[in-house]
Each structure stands twice: as structure tokens, then as C-alpha cells.
Amino acid sequence: MSAAATGRVGAPARPDNTDLFLLWAGCKYSPHPICRGCPPRLRADPHPLASGERRHGLISIYNLAVMAAVQVGNPLGDYWAKMTDPARNPFRGLYHLNGFDLLIVLPYFAVLTVLAAYGLHRYWLVYSYVKYRNNLPPAAPEPAEWPRVTVQLPIYNERYVVERLIETVARFDYPGEKLEIQVLDDSTDETQQVARGCVERYQALGLRIQYLHRDNREGYKAGALAEGLKAASGEFIAIFDADFLPGADFLRRTLPYFGDEASRIGMVQTRWTYLNRHYSALTEVESILLDGHFVIEHGARARSGCFFNFNGTAGVWRRAAIEDAGGWQHDTLTEDTDLSYRAQLRGWRFYYLPQIECPSELPVEMNGFKAQQARWAKGLVQTAKKILPQVLRADLPGAVKTEAVFHLTAGISYPLMIVLATMLLPAMVVRFYQGWFQMLLIDLPLFVASSCSISGFYLASQRVLYPKNWTRTVLYLPFIMAVGIGLSVRNAKAVLEALLGMQSEFARTPKFSIEGQGGTWRKKLYRNRAGWMPWLEIALGLYFAATIGYAIQNENYLTVPFLLLFVWGYLYTGLMSLGQGYFEQMRLGVRMPEEVRPAPTGVPGF
């Protein structure tokens, strides 16, 4: 076949079927210019099939790809050639990079590079978890004499779960004369009557339990814990939020790990499990997200000797560590992380005990879940501004400092994700004129580093927890990535407020006493308002739908699955925030009872 027949003057001739076979067999004897990468001696050899000699080269994946690319009439081959052959770029010789394009491309790559760095950090956490998997806290014998313990239960308007919490803690298997329980109530509704009545019943049964109510919420949860600590008699302080149900042997299993004070063990944290994991697709996603944190993040940091944090509940502190670190402070929304870093900077050591589980209730309502995530995102950045300078000045290994930076600044990825989202369409236009091959060579690896690490991170945690059926998590990966994208608007606002020093109220997460797949929250109080933000999320979803249309029009099919995650994520979070109450009515097998109002005696009222 002549060069003219290919439609391009001076182009190498397309090989015939015989040469395609030779390409498949290793390109060893093909005389065509496409094989000019072969050594000259081999290209000068006589054709083995013409002389009757039959030889075979090694089959390579590359040669198979080349064969597919040059095959006449192969749509995939034509598409690949269009993307990778500079000579087929329709804008070759016409497009020249200008200042406007640089204003788009440079910030685009800067944002993508930072996100890729945080994505690579997830890979590093998985690697550290595997590398230090045998670095576990030593087995701890029971003490000769059990120490005094104060259990603190901070609550605020928890009418649906407070009685369940008190009854669970009252069943602790621990010497009664060494156990003290404090119900720290900042409630402004009838939770006060329910909690006080429950406390009085157990006081009458001889349990050492106190009801402490504040008329103001100064310091929010941190203020309540600090106030309770003044009246506490325990050497150790166990803390449980209202939606947690610790086992009866919780204290007997955790306290032996502290040893004596010379060991400098200041806190032990247990792993959360979930009462309503299978309630809905949202709670399934939440449980996987939290499993990643508790299995991989905590596991990697604790086992490698890096700083990690108390999670605000389901853990025990040595009182001396709290006081030595400066006590509870309420200048951040994550008072638990703040105290954790201050205590570790003072030389106290922490243990993470994943084998000890503490069941909890996940948020079942989208607005409550978003409020929780925004509070955590804002609090971490506030803690970073407060604590990171001290960490960087401290006499600590470089690995500890680096991990602290990645941990406390992780929230910065949310505003960067919004920037990336708004720049994606103009960047696609500019990159289209520069050629597809550059997009594959540069953009794709950065996207893989920033996004695919999420899949590997959470799959690794599920494989640890559920070795027999962890593969079912694959079905939820699109949900996980989409929800993470959808949360970026609310969390970006929270992070920017933290960076600008804007204070906000401690927005607690509503609990509705939802266990398993039964029950409903639709007619109960404490639901968060959606506000204006869901409308922005829906607008972003529609914007990315238009971006998909542009990508399809320009045959940029490889980006469509990634863009679909943005469409799905923003529309899902936006629409669920506005209409989840209506969607709840469509759940199969869920009864919709009228509102049940707890009576002061603790007996359900009607």
C-alpha cells in the first residue's frame, strides 16, 4: 500500500495482514517503517514467511496495542490514534498558548497537584498500617486494685436517647464504690425532666450518679466537661456521647492498659461500631467513611508512633493528663483533637484499642450528617491554626510533624475541590485545544492520585474488618466518592470560616434512637434546616451535567465517569437535604407513628 493511499503524504504505509501478524508476533521481521524501532539487522533480514522459515517473537501488550491502533476500521483504534497522534490534532499549528489560558491552566494544575498530594497521603496511611500491623499495645493484666473512675455523659436536648444511655452505663460491671457517673445536661427542653427522673431512680437504687445542669452553654461540650471535672472524684475519666452504648465490661477492658502513672499513658480510644449501619444507603456510606478513619487512619498513626486524637467519646482519659495539658478548652469546635495534641506535646502517650468496640448511632438525616461533617472540618482547621506552630517547633521526628500537618490540614481539600469543580469546564476547553495526549499524560495521573486513592483507602479498611465479604463494599464506592464530593460545598464554607477566624455555635448531631433497619425520624424534633446551600449544590450538579454534554460532544469519553460522580454527588446531597422527609415515606417496612413525647418519669408518654 502506498503512502498516498493512507491519506497522508509522507506517512508510513499501513501494514497488510501478513505484517499485522508479524507485529503481533513481536515486529521482528516486518519491513514496514512502523517497525523502524527494531534493530537494523533484524529489519534487513529476509522475510521468514517468504523463504519458508517460520519464527516467532515474544508477544507483548504494546505490540497488541499497536496492532489495534493501526487496524483499518477499528473504532477504538481510530479513537486512540486521534488522541495520541499529534499529526491528527485539528488545532496543530493553529493553537498557541496565551495569557488567558495560563490563568486557567496554572491554578487548575496547582489545585490538582495539592489534591493529588493528599490522595498520595492516603496510600501512605495504608502502607503504614500494613508495615506496622504487628506494633500493638502489649496485653495488660488486671490491676491489683481497681482505680476510681468518673463516667461523664454530656448531653444537650437528647430526649430520644438519654434514658437509653443512662441505663446502659448503669449496667457497668465495675466496683460500685469506685464508680461515679455524671450526667452533664445543658438541655433547654424536656430532656431535663427525662434525664433528672432517670438519675433519681438510679440514685434510689444506690448508684453513685449525679445530675448536673447548666443554665448556659458556655464552652458547649468542652465547657460542660470542664465544669463536671471540677466535681469529679475519679482518677480516670470515661466519656460517652448520648448516642453511644458501651458494653458492660468496657471499663474492665480499657483501664488495665494505663498501668501506673510512670507509663505516661494518658488516653485510650476504642473503635466505634454502628447500631443502624444498614438503615439506608446514607448510613452504609457513613459507616464505611468512619471505618476508614478508625481502622486505617487511627491504626496507622497509633502503630507508627505518630500523634492521633481522642474522638470525643468512647474513650478514657487519665485525669492527670487532662490537667497537665491545660484542661478542656473551647476555642475550637474539635475540643477533643485540641486536647489530644496538647497532651501528646506534653509527653503523654495514647493507645488505640480497635478490638474493643463501642456501638453508636449514625445520623440518618442528610442535614444532620452535613452539620456533623462541617463541624469536624472547621474544628480541625481551627486546631491546625492553634496547634501546628507548636508541633512544628517541638523536638519531634520529622515523620510525626509531617503526619500532623496532613491530619490537621486535611479539610483544606474541600475549598480546593470547589475551585477544581468550577475550573473543570474551562480547563477542559483549554486542554482540548492543547491535545488529548497531554491530558492523558498529565491530567489522568493527577486525577488517579487524588481520587482513586479514596477507593483503595476504604476498601483496605473493609477488608480488615470483614475479610469474608469485604468485596460488597465495591458496590458502595460510587456512593462514597459522590457523597464526599457533595459534602464539599458545606465543608468548604466551614473551612473558610475557620481560616478567617469566624466563630460559630457548636451544632450537635441530632439522634433519634434508630437501631437496625426499623424506626423513623420523620416526625421527631431536632431536625436541621436545609438553608440555601442545597440549592447551590443542585446548581453545581446541573453545571456538571452540562460539562458531561461538552465532553461527549468533543469525544472526551474518558472523563465522563469522573464527571458523573460530581453530578451524582451534588444532586444527591442537594435533593436529599431538601426532600429527605418525603423520600423517607417511601422506605419499605417503616411505620410512621405520631410523635411520642417522653414523660418526666422515663415512661413513654403519649
Identify whether 16 is a catalytic site residue: no
The residue type found at 459 is: L
Partners of 491 in beta bridges: none
Work out the number of other CB atoms within 10 angstroms of the CB of residue 526: 17
Q: Which three cell numbers, joined as nine digits, stand for 197?
A: 427522673
In angstroms, the CA 162 to CA 157 distance is 9
Pairing of strands 209-213, 265-274: unpaired
Sign of the dihedral through C-alpha 389, 314, 474, 464: positive
Given 185, 336, 338, 443, which residue is catalytic? 336
Pairing of strands 315-318, 265-274: antiparallel
488 in Cβ contact with 565 (< 8 Å): no
- Residue of 25, 93, 21 whose CA lies nearest to 60: 25
Work out the number of other CB atoms within 10 angstroms of the CB of residue 72: 10
In angstroms, the CA 486 to CA 493 distance is 13
Identify whether 336 is a catalytic site residue: yes
Beta-strand ranges (E) seen in 6-130 are none
Partners of 149 in beta bridges: 179, 236
Helices 488-499 and 533-553: angle between axes, nearest 10 degrees: 120
In angstroms, the CA 492 to CA 411 distance is 8
Q: Please tell me the total number of residues recorded for the chain in this structure.
A: 606
DSSP string of 374-434, one letter each residue: HHHHHHHHHHHHHHHHHHHHSS--HHHHHHHHHHHTGGGHHHHHHHHHHHHHHHHHHHHHH
Q: For residue 149, what is the enclosing H or E element?
A: strand 149-155
Q: Measured in Å, how far apart are the chain's first and last C-alpha atoms?
A: 89
Work out the number of other CB atoms within 10 angstroms of the CB of residue 14: 16
Work out the number of other CB atoms within 10 angstroms of the CB of residue 131: 12
- Residue of 529, 507, 162, 171 whose CA lies nearest to 361: 162
The helix/strand/coil state of 210 is strand
Partners of 155 in beta bridges: 185
Given 186, 241, 291, 338, which residue is catalytic? 186
Q: Which three cell numbers, joined as nine digits, stand for 443?
A: 491530567
Work out the number of other CB atoms within 10 angstroms of the CB of residue 566: 25
Q: List, by residue number, the catalytic residues.
A: 186, 336
